């Protein structure tokens, strides 16, 4: 087993306003815009290519967002999956897969190679009881439960060939993989990829690079872990924040890594959530779009 390489990249901050819980950074390769959410604000935020910042305040907590083929934005709220017009901010309900279950809300989500919106939930009970799920939401608003018994569904990403889906349970401190068919979705039970150590952090949001390596934020570790397809942590990219939440690849060549963070106390110093960017000489894969 090779020794994990610790890398401290040249990091820059890309916003000048604070986030409570920054999450779900998503690069729009058609427009050059960077979208993200602030779960607790709650808001969807778009950093436009021309430097403008558009903020869409939400009525309830927002877990994540995804790009649609139509140019609309899918937003996962406590009240369900809504489709938002990014010009007007108007929203219409597509479905509510979680059905208002107690101690539960939609959390991390991404669109897969199948054109469906895969979105998981977080068990909000204290202590957690294992009520979290992962849903597959179809473009027509129908949905299916893919797996349950989780604590915090997170870390969705797909291999470049679309044949493997990666997924984590942040509170369970593990990542797993599913065999995936780009038309049918998952085709079998999950396999454990890795159990994370405290030094590697709580496995949160994730992204995939063009070489098939899985990038997953380590909350409380101050780093983003780069895993090989067999689950080995090859590199850890350190950022100047205790709790990075999710990376994504952006920029004209998908060579810029954007990382959201959350507000928390770092050894007695309060840190505001923000968005960082750095280059690592590695290209990402384009995100898939919801077939709406």
Domain ranges of the chain: 5-279
Those residues with Cβ within 8 angstroms of residue 104's Cβ, 6 or more apart along the chain or in another chain:
98, 121, 122, 123, 124, 131, 132
Query: Residue 250: is its pLDDT beyond 60?
Result: yes
Please give the pLDDT value at position 2.
Answer: 61
Please give the pLDDT value at position 37.
Answer: 98
| Candidate from 6-15, 71-80, 129-138, 258-267 with smallest mean pLDDT | 258-267
What is the Cα gyration radius of the chain? Answer: 17
- What element of type H or E holds 176? strand 174-181
Please give the pLDDT value at position 41.
Answer: 96
User: How many Å apart are CA 170 and CA 176, to the nearest integer?
Assistant: 11
b vs e for 21-57, b when ≥16 Cβ sit within 10 Å of the residue's Cβ? bbbbbbbbbeeebbbbbbbbbbbbbbbeeeeeeeebe
Q: Are strands 233-238 and 5-7 parallel, antiparallel or unpaired?
A: parallel
Which pLDDT band, with edges at 50, 70 and 90, does 264 fall under?
confident
User: How many Å apart are CA 70 and CA 78, to the nearest integer?
Assistant: 23
Q: Which of 36, 41, 30 is nearest to 14 (CA)?
A: 36
- Give 82-91 pLDDT, tens digit per residue: 999 999 999 9
Fold annotation for 5-279:
Neuraminidase (2.120.10)
The percent of residues above 90 in pLDDT, for the chain, comes to 95
User: Active-site residue 204, yes or no?
Assistant: yes
Q: Enter the tokens of residue 150.
A: 């989780």
Whole-number Cα distances in Å, 241 to 250, 273, 277: 20, 8, 12
Cross-strand bridge partners of residue 275: 260
Please give the pLDDT value at position 16.
Answer: 95
Please give the pLDDT value at position 198.
Answer: 81
Choosing from 54, 204, 209, 230, the catalytic residue is 204
The percent of residues above 70 in pLDDT, for the chain, comes to 99
| Candidate from 1-15, 36-50, 64-78 with smallest mean pLDDT | 1-15
Query: Residue 1: is its pLDDT beyond 60?
Result: no
Which pLDDT band, with edges at 50, 70 and 90, does 126 fall under?
very high
Q: Are strands 73-77 and 80-84 parallel, antiparallel or unpaired?
A: antiparallel
CB atoms within 10 A of CB 79: 17
- Give 8-48 pLDDT, tens digit per residue: 999 999 999 999 999 999 999 999 999 999 999 999 999 99
Sheet holding 132-137, edge to edge: 104-111, 117-123, 132-137, 143-150
Those residues with Cβ within 8 angstroms of residue 50's Cβ, 6 or more apart along the chain or in another chain:
none
Mean pLDDT of 37-63: 97
Q: Enter the tokens of residue 3.
A: 């020794």
- Give 177-217 pLDDT, tens digit per residue: 999 999 999 999 999 999 999 889 999 999 999 999 999 99
Query: Residue 268: is its pLDDT beyond 90?
Result: no
Contact call for residues 247 and 258 (beta carbons, < 8 A) = yes
Mean of all residue pLDDT scores within the chain = 96
């Amino acid at each position: 087993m090779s020794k994990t390489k610790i890398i401290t990249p040249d990091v820059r901050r890309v916003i000048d306003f604070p986030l409570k819980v920054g999450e779900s950074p998503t690069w729009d390769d058609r427009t050059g815009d960077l979208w993200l959410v602030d779960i607790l604000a709650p808001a969807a935020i778009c950093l436009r290519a021309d430097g403008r910042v558009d903020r869409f305040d939400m009525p309830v907590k927002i877990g994540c967002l995804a790009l649609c083929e139509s140019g609309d934005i899918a937003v996962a709220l406590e009240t369900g999956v809504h489709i938002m017009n990014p010009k007007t901010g108007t929203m219409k309900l597509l479905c509510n897969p979680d059905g208002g279950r107690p101690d539960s809300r939609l959390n991390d989500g991404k669109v897969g190679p199948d054109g469906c919106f895969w979105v998981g939930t977080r068990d909000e009970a204290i202590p957690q009881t294992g009520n979290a799920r992962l849903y597959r939401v179809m473009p027509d608003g129908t949905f299916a439960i893919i797996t349950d018994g989780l604590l915090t569904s997170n870390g969705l990403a797909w291999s470049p060939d679309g044949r493997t889906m990666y997924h984590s349970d942040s509170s369970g401190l593990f990542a797993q993989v599913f065999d995936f068919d780009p038309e049918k979705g998952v085709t079998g039970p999950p396999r454990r990829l890795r159990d994370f150590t405290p030094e590697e952090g709580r496995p949160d949001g994730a992204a995939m690079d063009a070489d098939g390596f899985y990038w997953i934020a380590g909350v409380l570790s101050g780093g983003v872990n780069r895993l090989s397809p067999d689950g080995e942590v090859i590199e850890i990219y350190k950022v100047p924040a205790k709790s990075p939440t999710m990376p994504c690849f952006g920029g004209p060549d998908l060579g810029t890594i954007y990382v959201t963070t959350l507000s928390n106390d770092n050894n007695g110093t309060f840190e505001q959530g923000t968005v960082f960017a750095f280059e690592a000489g590695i290209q990402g894969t384009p995100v898939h779009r919801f077939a709406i």
